[in-house]
């Protein structure tokens, strides 16, 4: 059940969410150019691809026997690394990952050979007949152990990929009377997107190729395919197929199946379709990174944070992918929306022989937020304070705006506003004032999770922080919009439709937004970091500004006014001081066409330059931030370890609402996905092999598991994107699992430091039950009391 609360800044009666007099976007309006779903595509002469993969996590490749595979009826090609016409590399950032293994296998599911056949059945039958002579090598599967000097090396250069830091103040000299220490082990997560990885490669001789792919980042795919084929970028066209959810799993990984299909298509001179079966997709595709996070945080006797030390080890898996970028965000997000005078954060990225990590909704922030919010509750108990009151004393606000990186948040800082709105929605005081429900083994609890999310890309990825748009005003007054950032169910194209309609003063139903195609817009970077509506919208506004330099003079002539007096609204060009003096935009567009005035304009956006020191982690990693607070209510079966999340109250700092239905849908979806990650979605690995690669054994929430969701939208006139909007896709997930964890801990009265909170994890914790306890110890220089950790 969804309960809505009116926005912080009230909308004027009869006005749209952006203040303009226009209808809400028509849900039936066309906002997707392509209807070519990969799984439904069939072209004359099309072949089907399959892949032979390694069954072990670490081995030397001594040889491949392809004879049996090539003998299967219907097989047209069986290819190995030696057959790749360009470079055998698919790493997005670092050149550490081959498309096809040549000498060494580093993970279960590593690609060894590609097959193209006339039917999918023949292709997969042949792939299973590829015989690999593999000599087992030692493997390492724990990221902490991987950093030991005597650990098996996944790559020759060693297992430590990179270390990120934040150092501000002197934690050794910070005066704290209460100190808590903890180690958290945070598990990964499967993306569970609607359709598996899939693409179609269509060659045009050996000069160029078209890729139709289910993907988030068509420009990533373009670069990867050009590299393996040895072609210039202009010879590779990538069209995004309708994509049913990505959550980060369609960011970097789709480049790999696309490159496979492209190599086969070039070798056979025929279209090749490649769709991964769900079980193989789950085994080989990227996952949310598992992390080991160690905390040592201190507060004074009045309950104010004095220092925080965080050491994180991120499991990159066998290849880097974009692990360093995830670690970069996790590193600066480790403290959350709290004022801490002294901070020392270290985030190390380690190779293992596990499945490799990649982009996932939140991009490293959910893991470190889960740990930070657990420690906040620990410290609150150590200070004999209610967790709510402890947060109230330490939140950033307009007076204390400095982040752990030293960056000062731009006003208004709405962390306290989000906390109080969520508290009111959840009925926190009423819940804790009444006797707690204890019916047999059932226990109730309520927990808080707060998150600070840097909108758009980190300083380290700022070279990708760009966006392109094309706006075409048709002679009848309708509008075509093309953008380079993708739609995958998050509502990006609907937001673009709303922004373009508002800027041009037309009804949203008159705007057609088409799916990205790398030949129609400039490289717009990745559709990640909740930047879709922000970056696309800013590029659209830039295109409209340029278009109006041609449109306004014609309008001024027709209206007999100055160019600066022209405004567009409600389907009309009108005089700003005399709204009744107007002409329809359709007439204006027709007049432009008859005068042969170009009705097309391009737009471009790039974020403003920021300063950041990667050595100390100090500076401005992000341009602006969003805050979110979730409060979860749970019922826990203390005998079976079952957790039922009954209610989540969410308050979000969103800047300005572009499209309310999409906004609320994103919040609901993020809460459900965060609940699954927090309670049931466990990646069970055995020596690098995923033991539960299906939705029978990998448990995602169903409709029956969705809690009651209450939403408070906090709007403001602060910094943001188009019309002041901020991102919502990732903040909607980040605090959920933390809130659930703290609610479960409150219900059971014991600490649990592993995620997800599956029944076996909870039952084990209950078996080692040690209720909350602290030992106070005074020291001459500074007092401190160390928490006696449960079960240690």
Catalytic-labelled residue, pool 730, 746, 751, 787 = 730
Give the distance, in angstroms, between the CA of residue 617 and the centroid of all CA atoms in the same chain: 22
Distance CA 361, CA 529 (A): 8
Residue pair 352/188 in contact (Cβ under 8 Å)? The answer is no
Residues in contact with 764: Cβ distance below 8 Å, sequence separation at least 6, in sequence order? none
State both tokens at 236: 């590779």
Residue 157 to residues 153, 161, 291, 350: CA-CA distances in angstroms?
A: 8, 9, 22, 12
Give CA–CA dist 503/790, Å, rounded.
57
- Return the number of other C-beta atoms located less than 10 Å from residue 133's C-beta: 11
Phi and psi for 560 in degrees, rounded to 5?
55, 55
Q: Which of 168, 270, 329, 344 is catalytic?
A: 329
- Location of structure tokens 């020392």: 344
CB-side neighbour CA atoms (13 Å) of 87: 13
Whether the Cβ atoms of residue 653 and residue 628 lie closer than 8 Å to each other: yes
Active site residue 329: yes
Q: Is 389 a catalytic residue?
A: no
With tokens 């994107």, the residue in question is: 721
The DSSP annotation for 519-575 comes to TTS-----S-TT-HHHHHHHHHHHHHHHHHHHHHHHHHHHHTS-GGGEEEETTEEEE
CA 599/CA 550 separation, integer angstroms: 8
What is the residue whose two structure tokens read 């092999």? Answer: 689
Whether the CB-CB separation of 312 and 153 falls below 8 Å is answered with: no
Q: Hey, is 258 helix, strand or coil?
A: helix
Burial 110-119 (b: 16+ CB within 10 A, else e): bbbbbbbbbe
For 75, list phi and psi in degrees, rounded to 5: -75, 130
Give me the active site residues, please: 329, 730
């Amino acid at each position: 059940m969804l309960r809505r609360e009116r926005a912080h800044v009230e909308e004027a009666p009869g006005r749209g969410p952006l203040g303009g007099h226009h209808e809400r976007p028509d849900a039936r309006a066309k906002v997707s150019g392509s209807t070519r779903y990969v799984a439904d595509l069939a072209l004359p002469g099309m072949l089907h691809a399959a892949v032979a993969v390694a069954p072990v996590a670490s081995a030397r490749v001594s040889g491949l026997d392809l004879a049996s595979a090539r003998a299967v009826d219907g097989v047209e090609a069986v290819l190995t690394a030696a057959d790749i016409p360009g470079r055998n590399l698919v790493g997005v950032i670092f050149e550490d990952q081959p498309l096809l293994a040549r000498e060494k296998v580093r993970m279960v599911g590593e690609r060894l050979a590609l097959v193209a056949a006339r039917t999918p059945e023949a292709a997969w039958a042949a792939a299973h007949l590829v015989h690999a002579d593999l000599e087992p090598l030692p493997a390492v599967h724990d990221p902490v152990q991987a950093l030991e000097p005597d650990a098996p090396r996944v790559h020759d250069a060693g297992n430590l990929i990179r270390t990120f830091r934040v150092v501000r103040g002197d934690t050794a000299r910070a005066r704290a009377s209460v100190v808590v220490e903890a180690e958290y082990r945070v598990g990964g997560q499967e993306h569970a997107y609607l359709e598996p990885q899939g693409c179609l490669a269509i060659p045009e001789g050996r000069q160029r190729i078209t890729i139709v792919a289910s993907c988030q980042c068509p420009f990533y795919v373009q670069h990867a395919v050009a590299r393996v084929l040895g072609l210039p970028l202009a010879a590779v066209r990538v069209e995004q197929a309708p994509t049913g959810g990505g959550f980060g799993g369609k960011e970097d990984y789709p480049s790999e199946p696309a490159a496979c299909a492209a190599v086969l298509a070039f070798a056979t001179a025929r279209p090749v379709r490649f769709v991964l079966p769900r079980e193989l997709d789950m085994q080989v595709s990227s996952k949310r990174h598992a992390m080991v996070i160690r905390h040592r945080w201190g507060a004074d006797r009045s309950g104010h944070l004095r220092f925080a030390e965080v050491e994180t080890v991120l499991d990159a898996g066998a290849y880097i992918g974009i692990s360093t970028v995830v670690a970069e965000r996790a590193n600066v997000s480790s403290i959350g929306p709290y004022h801490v005078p002294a901070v020392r954060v270290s985030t190390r990225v380690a190779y293992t022989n596990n499945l490799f990590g990649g982009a996932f909704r939140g991009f490293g922030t959910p893991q470190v937020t889960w740990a930070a919010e657990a420690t906040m509750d620990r410290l609150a108990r150590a200070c004999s304070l209610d967790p709510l009151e402890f947060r109230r004393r330490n939140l950033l606000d307009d007076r204390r705006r400095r982040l752990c990186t030293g960056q000062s948040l731009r006003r208004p800082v709405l962390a306290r506003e989000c906390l109080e709105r969520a508290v009111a929605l959840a009925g926190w005081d009423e819940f804790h004032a009444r006797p707690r429900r204890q019916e047999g083994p059932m226990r109730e609890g309520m927990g808080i999770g707060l998150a600070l999310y840097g909108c758009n890309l980190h300083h380290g990825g700022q070279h990708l922080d760009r966006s392109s748009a094309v706006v075409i005003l048709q002679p009848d007054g309708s509008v075509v919009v093309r953008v380079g950032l993708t739609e995958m169910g998050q509502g990006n194209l609907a937001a673009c439709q709303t922004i373009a309609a508002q800027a041009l003063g037309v009804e949203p139903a008159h705007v057609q937004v088409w799916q990205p195609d790398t030949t129609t817009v400039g490289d717009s970077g990745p559709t990640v970091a909740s930047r879709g509506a922000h970056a696309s919208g800013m590029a659209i506004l830039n295109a409209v500004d340029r278009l109006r330099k041609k449109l306004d003079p014609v309008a001024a002539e027709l209206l007999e006014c100055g160019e600066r007096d022209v405004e567009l609204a409600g389907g009309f060009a009108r005089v700003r001081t005399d709204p009744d003096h107007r002409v329809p935009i359709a007439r204006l567009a027709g007049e432009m066409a008859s005068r042969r005035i170009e009705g097309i304009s391009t737009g471009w956006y790039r974020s403003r330059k920021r300063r950041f020191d990667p050595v100390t982690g100090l500076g401005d990693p992000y341009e602006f931030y969003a805050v979110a607070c979730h409060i979860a209510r749970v019922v826990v079966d203390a005998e079976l370890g079952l957790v039922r999340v009954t209610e989540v109250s969410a308050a979000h700092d969103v800047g300005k609402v572009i499209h309310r239905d999409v906004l609320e849908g994103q919040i609901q979806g993020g809460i459900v996905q965060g609940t699954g990650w927090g309670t049931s979605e466990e990646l069970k690995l055995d020596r690098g092999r995923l033991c539960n690669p299906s939705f029978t054994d990998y448990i995602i929430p169903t409709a029956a598991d969705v809690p009651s969701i209450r939403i408070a939208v906090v709007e403001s006139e602060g910094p943001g994107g188009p019309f002041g909007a901020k991102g919502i896709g990732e903040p909607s997930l980040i605090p959920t699992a933390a809130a659930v964890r703290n609610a479960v801990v409150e219900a059971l009265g014991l600490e649990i430091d592993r995620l997800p909170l599956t029944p076996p994890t909870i039952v084990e914790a209950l078996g080692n039950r040690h209720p909350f306890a602290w030992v106070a110890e005074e020291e001459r220089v500074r007092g401190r009391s160390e928490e006696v950790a449960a079960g240690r």
